[in-house]
Structure 1
Amino acid sequence: MAGLVLIRMKYAVLRNGWTGWRAVRAVAGGAAGLLAAAATVLAALPDLGAPEASARLLAGAFALWTLGWALGPFVLGTDTTLRPGYFALLPLPAWRLAAGLLAAAAAGVPAALALLAFCSLAVWGAGLGPGPLAVALAAVPLQTALVLLACRAVASAAGAALRTRLGMDLVPLLVSVLIGVGLTAGLMGWPYALGFAVRLAEGAGPELPGWLLLAPPGWGPLAVLGAARADWAAAAGGLAGLALLDAALLGLWAVLLRRELGARAVAGRLRARARRRAAARPLAWSAASAAAVRALRSWQRDTGMHIIVVAVVGTAAIPVIAAFAVDWPYLVPIVAPLAVAVAAKESANLFGFDGSALWHTLVTPGSERAEVRGRQFAWLAVFTPIAVLLGAVAFVLPPEVGGEVTAAARPYLVAVLPAMLGAGSGLVVWYSVAAGHAIGAEGGATGGFSHPGPAGARAGLARHLFHPLLWLTALPPAALVALGTLGGLPFAVWAGVAAGAAIGAAAAVLLGRAAHRRLAERGPELLAALTAPV
């Protein structure tokens, strides 16, 4: 009964909110998911000569689906149309609430696409006989429930971890490492994937390891394979394993929901130490410096802002590791500019972390300029050391390790980094004032693992279109350095370095000025956007 009510509530919310950029995002995501599901079904059609080969292929495909759903909350967010906090005051047991939210999650497009992908098990079982088909039909809903529960349990576990200080460091670092490893594997593995697809189209059996059938995503294909071999013990064991694992994940999610509904935010438990306050007081010699000190404390203590710093470090470390692992030295010079770009993109909604606290700035006459300049100083103080340390890797590597590419890129780094850092400090405050929105409206890890609302979706699109301006600021100094190194003109190299510093300083000053003037003129509109319901 609770599940039916929650499904009706979800459809009512979606029906009234299916407009604008939310609809565009949903259609684009649905089209991509449909292509992936169709590819999974097509993988079950070829006759690979032996049932075990097809079973391993489907087990590998199901493992990718399960991994994608488990990591999806960190990258794309989860569907939190119905949030557990909405039902905190209702006399519902945690397990019953979890079951109802699971039913609501199953009544959506992502779940339907996952169900379509796992129907490939039924397509394969139909070619093996009535018994395997019956087992496949029983395994399809269990496999679908597995990915839904894995997604919800992982999201709830990550949310619980982010309420601890250690989790604030480990969770974003782990996620950034996984994303970096995935991107690196995609760059390195696309030739193998193309060759695998060609072999599969020719009907050649894939050479996949047998342990894929022993992993939980492979228990469905293992059960169907057992039925095809008349090994009913293996068939029953595969189905029973999926059912028990689903029940265990549901119980785990219920426990996490109970803790989530009764937990207090970590920000309420963190307190500044007296020695830190005493050390910070001498820095506050002006209004701008006081705002910078407060912003630096926010970067340290605020969960969302701290996640950004850790994620930038983790994401930037992956190309360095990959450069040594696969002997790609040209990855090393781009690490520092990439870190600056990621930092600017992820922290482009600085005022969004204030929420209704922006009211204190608006009611203080003449504080807008100090507020904007202080946030710029704090942003530079946080990310400049990170960029410098990452850029120094290209300078400390010997030629026999880094290669000629790394040595040749050193003047480019010296010229480009000041331009990108200065422009980044200006872009983040200007964007935050011009297109600020409430945290949680744009989804992702710092948005509370939620899908974006209409305001957040529009702002996210604007940020993706506006973000390339940061890279444009690096073109003039890089062009001058290229002219000097390729044409044998040392003065051009130094001109490129000077141009990078000048562009960075000019961008920081001019964009900061535009930001504080806009804040003074349209501060109430920004406050309304920051306090709007997500």
Structure 2
Amino acid sequence: MVAVLVRLKLALLRNTLTRSVWALVGLVLGGLYALGLVAAAYAGFVALRLSGSPELVSGVTVIGFSAVTLGWVLFSVLVSGIDETLSPARFALLPLSARRLQPGLFAAGLLGLPGLATTVVALGLVVVWSRSVGTAVAALVAVVLGVATCFLLSRLVTAALAELLSTRRFRDIAVVVLALSGAGIGIGVNVVADSFATGTSWTGLLGRVTDVVGWTPLGWAWALPAAVAEGAWLGAAARLLLAVGLVVLAWIGWGHFLQVRLTSPLEGQSGSGKVRGGAAVDRWFGATPRGAVAARSLRYWRRDPRHLANLAALVVLPVLVVVMQLTQDAPNELVVVFSPLLVAFLLGSVLAMELAYDGSALALHIHTGLRGSDDRLGRLMAAGTLVVPALVVISVACVAIAGRWDLLLAVLSMTLGAAVVIAGVSSWISVFWPGHAPPPGANPFGKGSSGGFEALLSFTVVTGISFVASLPVLAAGIGSLWIGWLQWVALLLAVGIGGVALWLGVRVGGRALDRRWPEVLRSVTALDA
């Protein structure tokens, strides 16, 4: 069974790559990027091996790899699993028990990108502790137990919370928590960097944190070679027994919940079935083809976790920038004032994925003979209903925090002008590179969530063209720092250039979509087959 599941995993990967050239190109580029990260990690391991003190080596390895273990658990909970290729629900109709499936699912799961990356980087622990045979052997044992702990704990937690994770309310909360976690990590890194820059001593704190983390379930395995290096044989034996016991218990617990999933597969809960405010939305956009597209898209923006994840990322970015500036001794008020521009330029990555989020449902537009211009305009109407008020609120808040009300008009002109230009350019470019997305109801951060290399290329082109087109608006807005009346010039340019970009995006993008409906449908459904 292990060999069968491993071959199935590899076959699914091979079929994905042969079906989409963009997936193959993205895998190659992603592999090169991963190799660069691994090379950097191993360079750090070698440096620790050659010149690091035992205390520093212990602190870096125990805390670092314990954080990796925690990351496996947290991200598995927040995003409902990283890889759903061999989901237990797919085997529910087969006469297979959890005991037969577990070894194969374990081996196949480690063949995914997170598993391979964790294993390769974890083997660096052997390099760091290769000063003696005893520590090297202990490090090798730690790698086996540590990687197994990462995988099994993540599977155990997600299996135990499977019913809760299937609800839309929890996924909505998870998106917010993930966004806030990202902001917290960024702020924490900034504070630590400032502390190092001011000469704060972390030696004593590092030792204390290492001692605490090494006696938690996250660090039992990873602290094993450090205990051997210190000659603390009793502590090393205790950690070994605890780490082995944790792996065994996690394996048993995962098997229990896996058996439950095989006999009682979960179904996603969609709520009460009532559509609140549905009639109001339909009246607001009107009984036209573009109005129908806008009303449907607006409902998706509210209910689809994939859209919610995008909104959370857009909102948390200026918050992160502002908070990081406020933690500085001398914050730069202009960085705070103009931070909403980052949201405007990242908007391209969201709008460029609109077609991909529909997946196979896009066929409805083709079958009903919907014009491409109505599709383009309807989606922009829905996005504008949410994004424009959000950009106004964020801009006003940033200006208020910085106390630069004299720049409010310039900030609004630059932010909204750039956003409208990007919306128009995205309406055209996304027809050629729509990207890929997880199917509706699936993990919003899972396979295909970022759209792959195709979406990356689309975002790059959209951002580049939009930046060039927005240069007059940006130049006038920045010039208003010295010449106040240029704010009004920025406003006029934003209206003019933005209006032209929006009109061209809808018209040109709509005509291109009329010609490319079959190609677009094939592209956005490539990962569903």
Match 1:302 to one of 297, 304, 310: 304
CA distance in 2, matches of 1:477, 1:230: 66
Aligned residue in 1 for 2:491: 497
Query: What does residue range 351-370 of structure 1 map to in structure 2 within 5 Å?
Result: 351-365=355-369, 367-370=371-374
2:102 corresponds to 1:101? no
2:320 corresponds to 1:315? no
2:141 corresponds to 1:138? yes
CA distance in 2, matches of 1:9, 1:382: 43
C-alpha contact (below 8 Å) 2:337/2:399 kept by paired residues: no
Aligned residue in 1 for 2:454: 458
CA distance in 2, matches of 1:387, 1:297: 20
CA distance in 1, matches of 2:335, 2:148: 40
Query: What does residue range 391-430 of structure 1 map to in structure 2 within 5 Å?
Result: 391-397=395-401, 402=402, 406-407=404-405, 409-430=407-428
Q: RMSD value over aligned CA atoms? A: 3.7
For residues 218 and 95 of structure 1, do their structure 2 counterparts lie closer, same or farther at Cα, with a shift above 3 Å needed? same
Aligned residue in 1 for 2:519: 525
1:303 Cα deviation after fit: 2.9
For residues 239 and 324 of structure 1, do their structure 2 counterparts lie closer, same or farther at Cα, with a shift above 3 Å needed? same
1:141 Cα deviation after fit: 0.4
C-alpha contact (below 8 Å) 2:66/2:219 kept by paired residues: yes
2:500 corresponds to 1:506? yes
For residues 355 and 195 of structure 1, do their structure 2 counterparts lie closer, same or farther at Cα, with a shift above 3 Å needed? same
CA distance in 2, matches of 1:475, 1:151: 47
C-alpha contact (below 8 Å) 1:59/1:217 kept by paired residues: no
C-alpha contact (below 8 Å) 1:44/1:54 kept by paired residues: yes
CA distance in 1, matches of 2:144, 2:180: 32
1:379 Cα deviation after fit: 0.5
For residues 414 and 524 of structure 1, do their structure 2 counterparts lie closer, same or farther at Cα, with a shift above 3 Å needed? same
Aligned residue in 2 for 1:211: 212
CA distance in 2, matches of 1:145, 1:515: 49
C-alpha contact (below 8 Å) 1:394/1:407 kept by paired residues: no
C-alpha contact (below 8 Å) 1:155/1:449 kept by paired residues: no
C-alpha contact (below 8 Å) 1:176/1:311 kept by paired residues: yes
1:55 Cα deviation after fit: 2.0
Match 1:29 to one of 12, 16, 33: 33
1:419 Cα deviation after fit: 1.1
CA distance in 2, matches of 1:129, 1:499: 70
Aligned residue in 2 for 1:482: 478
| One-letter amino acid of the structure 1 residue matched with residue 447 of structure 2 | S
| Aligned-partner SS, 2:184 | helix
1:59 Cα deviation after fit: 1.0
1:375 Cα deviation after fit: 1.1
CA distance in 1, matches of 2:170, 2:474: 39
CA distance in 2, matches of 1:256, 1:440: 25
1:221 Cα deviation after fit: 4.7
Aligned residue in 2 for 1:115: 119
Between 255-264 and 170-179, the greater mean CA deviation after superposition: 255-264
For residues 357 and 247 of structure 1, do their structure 2 counterparts lie closer, same or farther at Cα, with a shift above 3 Å needed? same
Aligned residue in 1 for 2:294: 292
Between 187-196 and 5-14, the greater mean CA deviation after superposition: 187-196
Between 118-127 and 3-12, the greater mean CA deviation after superposition: 118-127
1:192 Cα deviation after fit: 6.4
Query: What does residue range 139-288 of structure 1 map to in structure 2 within 5 Å?
Result: 139-150=142-153, 163-187=166-190, 189-190=192-193, 207-209=206-208, 210-250=211-251, 253-254=254-255, 258-259=260-261, 262-267=265-270, 269=271, 271-273=273-275, 276-287=277-288, 288=290
C-alpha contact (below 8 Å) 2:46/2:128 kept by paired residues: no
For residues 518 and 285 of structure 1, do their structure 2 counterparts lie closer, same or farther at Cα, with a shift above 3 Å needed? same
For residues 272 and 360 of structure 1, do their structure 2 counterparts lie closer, same or farther at Cα, with a shift above 3 Å needed? same
| Aligned-partner SS, 1:218 | coil
1:84 Cα deviation after fit: 4.1
C-alpha contact (below 8 Å) 1:426/1:511 kept by paired residues: yes
For residues 142 and 449 of structure 1, do their structure 2 counterparts lie closer, same or farther at Cα, with a shift above 3 Å needed? same
1:43 Cα deviation after fit: 4.9
| Aligned-partner SS, 1:220 | coil
For residues 235 and 306 of structure 1, do their structure 2 counterparts lie closer, same or farther at Cα, with a shift above 3 Å needed? same
CA distance in 1, matches of 2:254, 2:319: 32
CA distances 1:282-333 after superposition (whole Å, capped 9, x unpaired): 3243412233222212211223223322332233332233333335334422
Between 218-227 and 345-354, the greater mean CA deviation after superposition: 218-227
Count of residue pairs the alignment pairs up:
511
Aligned residue in 2 for 1:324: 326
Between 86-95 and 65-74, the greater mean CA deviation after superposition: 65-74
C-alpha contact (below 8 Å) 2:282/2:291 kept by paired residues: no
| One-letter amino acid of the structure 2 residue matched with residue 6 of structure 1 | L
CA distances 1:206-249 after superposition (whole Å, capped 9, x unpaired): 95433232344432353334334554331122122222333444
C-alpha contact (below 8 Å) 1:337/1:387 kept by paired residues: no
C-alpha contact (below 8 Å) 1:362/1:368 kept by paired residues: no
TM-score normalised to structure 1 length: 0.82
1:382 Cα deviation after fit: 1.0
Aligned residue in 1 for 2:95: 91
CA distance in 2, matches of 1:48, 1:353: 49
